[in-house]
Amino acid sequence: MSRNILLTLRYDGSGYHGWQLQNNALTVQQKMNEAVNAVFHEDVNVCGCSRTDTGVHANMFCCSFRTNKEIAVERIPDAVNYYLPKDVSVYGARLVPQSFHARFSCIGKEYLYQIYNDRYRNPFFEQRALLYPYYLDETLLNREAQSFLGKHDFSGFCSAGSEVIDRIRTIRSVGVSREDNVVTLRISGDGFLYNMVRIIVGTLISVNEGKIPQGSIPEIIDSRDRLRAGITAPAQGLYLNKVFYNGEDRT
């Protein structure tokens, strides 16, 4: 009988056009498929928990696949990592029920967005944070960010091109904090629309700059008008940080 296996990995997305397979671009899914197939000697398609965009990173990403081979689960991370580039690393593997799917069994995610708030760029944050040279008031941004909490229609925070019809999502927690020159947005919810977190960040930056009035985020959400929200912040500051599953499938 085939086994259903869940892998947990992290990756630096700087050199990839996101997770999902593409015909003419390098993706993380392509490298994972190649590595898993090399280990199991099967034509395996690894299914991911999310479709991260070009340049987006993951501190935690989950993917699942089925195999008929009996390789011990505890050996799988080392075996797969042998065939992976150094910017992708598997750090967990376990058996999951046959009904489990890395994407459709997911009940929530947490994202981080990092901003390096300094006049001068830091090479250690290059392609891993947004360089923003003007002062960010993290106390103000944290207060404004609380308006995103709860269940809303986030149509105004979704990029054009999305084919998703149901745009109602529930944000469970959100906060903005600072550690030295790094300002971080941390946000979790039951799901996120295309570029939703990056538009939230762009909107908060616009509030900081005075381009969007303080206290107006609830009105922008209610308007469902993309033109009233801020810009889409660049991809390099975004990290998929945690993935959540129910019961025995919770990671």
Percent of residues, the chain, with pLDDT higher than 70? 98
Candidates 203, 151, 142, 201; CA nearest to 174 is 142
Query: pTM for the full model?
Result: 0.93
CA dihedral 189, 190, 196, 201 (to 10 degrees): 0
pLDDT in tens, 218-239: 999 999 999 999 999 999 999 9
Which of 12, 43, 53, 190 does the annotation list as catalytic? 53
Which tops the pLDDT comparison, 162 or 224? 224
pLDDT score recorded for residue 247: 58
Structure tokens, 5: 């296996």
Walk me through the domains of the chain, giving residue ranges and CATH numbers: 3-104 (3.30.70.580), 107-243 (3.30.70.660)
| Cα three-residue angle 196-31-6, rounded to 5 degrees | 70
Determine whether 225 is an active site residue: no
Cα separation, 149 vs 115, in Å, equals 21
* 5 Cβ neighbours under 8 A, 6+ residues apart: 64, 65, 66, 67, 73, 76, 93, 94, 95, 96
